[in-house]
Amino acid sequence: MASTATAPAPQPIPPSLSLPPSQFARLQPHAYLLAHLSPPASSQQPSIRANGRSPSQFRVTSANTGSLTHTNGSAVVRLGDTTAVCGVKAEILHTEDIASWSVSHSSSSSFASNKRRKLTNPTAKLGEDRTDSGDNESHIEDFSLLVPNLSLSTGCAPGLIPGAPPSALAQSMSHQILSLLHTSRLVRAEDLQIWYERPNFGPEEPEHHNESEQMDVDVEQEGSDEASIQTGEIKAFWVLYIDIMIISLAGNPFDAAWTAVLAALRDTKLPRAWWDVDNETVVCSDIVSEARKLSLWGLPIASSFGVFEADAAAGWRSVTIQDAEEERKLAEGDRKGIQRRWVLADPDGYEEGLSQERVCLVVDKPQGGDGKVFIVKMEKNGGFAVDRKELKELVDISTRRWEDINQILKQC
């Protein structure tokens, strides 16, 4: 990976031992990266990473959706050399199969009206909806309607044995994605509900759903006017199996995986489904025009950072008072223009191995939010380098990243 860098000319390689850059990178990874980041002052080189990026620069990202035939939604996201494929497959969970499903859940008119509102106003504003349907949202978590699983055992990296149970990394990323899906409330519970409307309009034939679509819409709209007298019942839920295969791993799998999940969910189409009374089952329509896309709440976008420290031993030291003093000294050093640590955006595999401290930020910039930026998730592990000031800078970088990814996702 590092060998592909457009290596700057003045290499700090001892002349007696002329190793090619790729060899040196393997033997002395820390020194190699440090040499790139802090070129001698005499040379007019800018501080640049071994892979040719500036510290806050992300890798080239591309996304492609809808290429997998057997999925409801799919996406391939390439983040440099890291590739994630995400496929969403929807299946149906009947309420009769839910052990904890009780009478209290069913036929509450507030749900019905909720649904009506969504139908009439599909582009509901963020924020107002997010608060008032808390009970609904708990369905997703209670009945585990979103099932993300990330797999690394695809031969994506040499160390991972295919066929072995998921590694700790894969497990933790699956759970991070799950909790992020839950806490960001990305998917609306209403989108996943399958309703049964009891025909209230006299002796209407029960198979009104088999008629043309226009008829159906009419019925629905009539229903919305008379939502108060209509009793609906949730008969089933859609369950979204979100499977992420990391095909190629070259650092920062989480960003790639989450972007893939996001793109796949944006691509996901659920067929129109209804409760078929005769067969006592849920039946779907295969007509594309009747299927609807998920209306996602917001667009939380993840960006990860690694911290590279010039003093390789710094990470090993425990927190002592001497260290605090040293920190102060280092801060002075900063002022003199000698940088001692770098926050590297979107670290590749090589850089990940050299950084002890990681930061992961998930930010969102809602459409109607007047450019306000929400931090959906903030995670920082290890190290003593990144403080409040730097975190703020990272949020700014993440916001810029949000704009980029937003463009990429819009285009695909």
Partner 1 sequence: MTDRRRINGPSGGTRPPVFASSIKSTTTATERPQRQRQPNELRKIFLKTGLIPSASGSSYLEFEHSASLSAARALPKSLIPPSSSLKLACTVHGPKPLPRSATFSPNLVLTTHVKYAPFAARKRKGHIRDASERDLGVHLETALRGVIVAERWPKSGLDITITILEAEDDRWWGDAPDSHDAAWGMMNVLAGCITAASAAIADARIDCLDLVAGGVAAVVVDESVDGGEPSTPRLMLDTDPAEHRSLLSACVVAYMPARDEITELWLKGDNSKASVGTDDKSLSYETLIDGAVDAARGAHSVLAEAVRESAERLAGLETGYST
Contacts with partner 1, residue ranges (CB under 8 A) = 1, 20, 22, 67-71, 74, 81, 83, 85, 87-94, 97-99, 143-145, 147-149, 151, 153-158, 161-163, 165-166, 171, 174-175, 178, 210, 239, 241, 243, 245, 247-250, 269, 271, 273, 281-288, 291, 349
Residue 31, classified by CB atoms within 10 Å of its CB into exposed (0-12), middle (13-18) or buried (19+), is middle
Are 79 and 256 spatial neighbours (Cβ–Cβ below 8 Å)?
yes
Residue number, 71 or 259, with CB nearest to partner 1: 71
Question: Between 213-225 and 109-120, two packed helices, what is the crossing angle to 10 degrees?
Answer: 120
For the bound state, the minimum distance from the C-beta of residue 296 to partner 1, rounded and expressed in Å, comes to 19
- DSSP annotation of 100 reads T
Residue number, 174 or 398, with CB nearest to partner 1: 174
Question: Within 10 Å of residue 344's Cβ, how many Cβ atoms?
Answer: 25
Are 173 and 254 spatial neighbours (Cβ–Cβ below 8 Å)?
yes
Residue number, 285 or 356, with CB nearest to partner 1: 285
For the bound state, the minimum distance from the C-beta of residue 152 to partner 1, rounded and expressed in Å, comes to 11
| Sign for the pseudo-dihedral over CA of 36, 37, 41, 46 | positive
Q: How far apart are CA 412 and CA 407, in angstroms?
A: 9
For the bound state, the minimum distance from the C-beta of residue 88 to partner 1, rounded and expressed in Å, comes to 8
For the bound state, the minimum distance from the C-beta of residue 156 to partner 1, rounded and expressed in Å, comes to 7
Q: How far apart are CA 233 and CA 82, in angstroms?
A: 45
Please state the separation of Cα 178 from the chain's center in Å. Answer: 10
For the bound state, the minimum distance from the C-beta of residue 316 to partner 1, rounded and expressed in Å, comes to 28
Tokens 């309420």 belong to residue: 95
Cα distances (Å, whole numbers) of residue 238 to 171, 213, 273, 295 = 24, 21, 9, 14
Residue number, 95 or 230, with CB nearest to partner 1: 95
For the bound state, the minimum distance from the C-beta of residue 248 to partner 1, rounded and expressed in Å, comes to 4
Residue number, 38 or 167, with CB nearest to partner 1: 167
DSSP H or E segment with residue 179: helix 168-184
Residue number, 129 or 267, with CB nearest to partner 1: 267
Residue number, 213 or 393, with CB nearest to partner 1: 213
Residue number, 140 or 359, with CB nearest to partner 1: 140
Q: How far apart are CA 194 and CA 174, in angstroms?
A: 27
For the bound state, the minimum distance from the C-beta of residue 178 to partner 1, rounded and expressed in Å, comes to 6
Residue 15 CB contacts under 8 Å (≥ 6 apart), including other chains: none
For the bound state, the minimum distance from the C-beta of residue 38 to partner 1, rounded and expressed in Å, comes to 25
